[in-house]
Amino acid sequence: MRGKKLYINTIGCQMNVYDSGKMADMLYRANYQLTDAVSDADLVIVNTCAIREKAVQKVYSFLGRIKKLKQKNPGLRLVVAGCVAQQQGRAIASRFPQVDIVLGTHAVQQLPDLIQELEKHPRQIIATEMTDFIDEPGPADFSCAGLSASRDGIISDFVTIMRGCDNFCTYCVVPYVRGREISRQPQAIIAEIESLVQAGIREITLLGQNVNSYGIKENLTSFPDLLAMVNAVTGLERIRFVTSHPKDLSDALIEAFGTLDKLCNHIHLPVQSGSSRILKKMNRKYTRESYLEKIEKLRAVSPDIAITSDFIVGFPGETDQDFQETMDLIDRVGFDSVFAFEYSDRPEAPASRFKDKISPEIKHERLQALFKRQKEITRRLHEALVGRRFSVLIEGASKNQIKHTADADAVELTGRTSENRIVNFKAPADWGIDIDRRKGETKGVKIEAAYSNSFWGVVADRPEMR
C-alpha cells in the first residue's frame, strides 16, 4: 500500500508534461501514489507556464483553491514548479504563504530531497538557481520500474533532449525562464528511451525548444544523427519531435523523413506570422519565402507529410496587410491544423516595450478569422482522406464509447496515424473485450468518415501509408 497521495496539475507545454512525469516517477519511488482528486492529496504540485498572461492567471487561481484546501487540511504540502516558479521565485512564496516549495526549472531532480528537508524543518524553500549543466538522473532511475504505476499503460511518452533556448524571439519569455540552450548526451537519451521501451512505451516524442540545434554548441551528435540512433532502438515503433525552428531546419533533417522508417510523417513547424516584416520584428531569422521553400522541400521528400504550425496574431505593429499575408500563407501551405494565439505582453521580453500595440478587439477579430479559415482547410484536407488506409498505433478504448455503431456490445478503440491524426474504430468481434491487450499494437485502418478533430474507420489489412 502506498503511503501518500500526490496530485499534479500540469499547465503548459510538453516540456512541463515531461517534467511532471519525471516528478511522478521520482516520488513514486518515495512512496507517493498519483491521485486524480486534489481533495485527497497530501502533496500538490502545480507545474506552471509563463508563456502568456492567461496561463499565469490560471496558476494564481489554482493557488487560491489550494489555500482553501490547506485551511481544512494543514498537513497538505504545496509545490510550485515550472516557468512561473522560475520567473517569480521568492516573490511567489511571499505573495502566496500557502506555498511550501518553489521549484525552478533547473531543480526538478532535487524535488525528493527538498520534500524530505521540508518534512524535517517546515518552512518555505526556494530552489530557483540556474545551472549550466544538466542534472542527469542516475542509472537506477532508468530501471524497468521507471514508470510510476499510475503512468503504467501509456504507450507514448516524451524524452527531453535539450533544455533552454538561445533564440530570443522578441515576444518570448522562454530564454529567461528556461535559461541557455544545453543538450543532453546522446548516450543518456538512448538509455532513457531503452528503459521506456522496456516499460511498454512504443512511441517517443523528443523534446526541445529548438531540436534542430541539438548538440551543435557542445559538438555532440547532430540532430539527424541522433534520430538515426533512436531509430535503431529495438522495440520502439515511432519517433516524433518538437519543436523545430524553421531557420534551422536543415536539408539533412528533411532527408530523414525519407530514410528513417520509425520517424513519423508529421512536422510541427511554427511560423508565427506570414509577413516577413513582422518576422523580422519577432527576430525569427527567416522570411515568408524561405519558410515556403522549406515546406516545398519537405513535400518533395514526403508528399503526404502532415504539417502543423503556431501563429501569433496582433504582434505590435501588425497591420491589416501583414495579417492578410498570414492568411495567404495559411492558404498556400494547407496546414493539417494550427495553434494560434493573441499576442500577450511578457514583461521580460523586448516586444513588451515595442510601440503600436494592437487593441484586444482587433487581436480577437484576427484570431477568429484565422481559426475560421483554418477550419475550412482542415475540413477539406480531412474529407480527402476518406477511403485511404493508414497504420494506426492503438492507444486504448475510445472516450466516445459507441458513438458510431448501433451495436451495443461493440468496443471502440482509438489511436493515431503516423501523421498524428486521431482515428477511432470498432474492434473486430474476434478481438474479445479485453482490449487493453491491443494497446501499443499497430493496425491498418480504412477511413470511413472525417470530423474536424478525428476520423472514424474500420480495420483493414494492408495500410497504404506507414
Binding site for ligand 5AD (CB under 6 A): 51-52, 171-172, 270, 272, 310, 312, 341, 343-344, 346
344 lines the binding site for ligand SF4 (CB under 6 A)? no
Say which entry of ligand SF4, ligand 5AD, none residue 167 contacts (CB below 5 to 8 A, set by partner kind). ligand SF4
Q: How far is the CB of 343 from ligand 5AD (least distance, A)?
A: 5
Stretch that binds ligand SF4, among 99-107, 118-126, 166-174, 187-195 (CB under 6 A): 166-174
How far apart are CB 274 and ligand SF4 at their closest, in Å? 16
Among positions 27, 169, 330, 445, the unique one binding ligand SF4 when judged by CB under 6 A: 169
Site for ligand SF4 in 229-268 (CB under 6 A): 245
In whole angstroms, the minimum distance from the beta carbon of 396 to ligand 5AD comes to 28
Phi, psi angle pair for 422, to nearest 5°: -80, 130
| CA proximity to 345, closest of 315, 372, 385 | 315
Closest distance to ligand SF4 from the beta carbon of 245 (Å): 5
* Shortest reach from residue 250's CB to ligand 5AD, in Å: 20
CA atoms of 285 and 279, how far apart (whole Å): 7
Q: What is the rounded distance in angstroms from the CA atom of residue 74 to the CA atom of residue 356?
A: 49
Min CB(172)–ligand 5AD separation in Å: 5
Q: Does 275 bind ligand SF4 (CB under 6 A)?
A: no
Q: Which does 337 bind (CB under 5 to 8 A by kind): ligand SF4, ligand 5AD, none?
A: none
Least separation, in Å, of the C-beta of 290 and ligand SF4? 16
Select the span of 165-173, 248-256, 313-321, 376-384 touching ligand SF4 (CB under 6 A): 165-173
Select the binding partner of residue 343 from ligand SF4, ligand 5AD, none (C-beta < 5 to 8 A, by kind).
ligand 5AD
Rg (CA), the chain: 23
Amino acid in the structure at residue 61: S
C-alpha cell at 328: 495567404
Note if the bond before 243 is cis, omega within 30 degrees. yes
> Could you give the count of Cα atoms lying within 13 Å of 122 in the half-sphere of its Cβ?
8
| In the complex, minimum distance from the CB of residue 173 to ligand 5AD, in angstroms, rounded to a whole number | 7
Q: Which residue is nearest to ligand 5AD (CB)?
A: 310
The residue (of 343 and 425) whose beta carbon lies closer to ligand 5AD is: 343
Residue 440 interacting entry, from ligand SF4, ligand 5AD, none, C-beta within 5 to 8 Å by type? none
How far apart CA 338 and CA 20 sit, in angstroms, is 25
Closer CB to ligand SF4, 93 or 169, in the complex:
169
Q: Can you give the binding site for ligand SF4, defined by CB under 6 A?
A: 165, 167-169, 172, 174-175, 209-210, 245
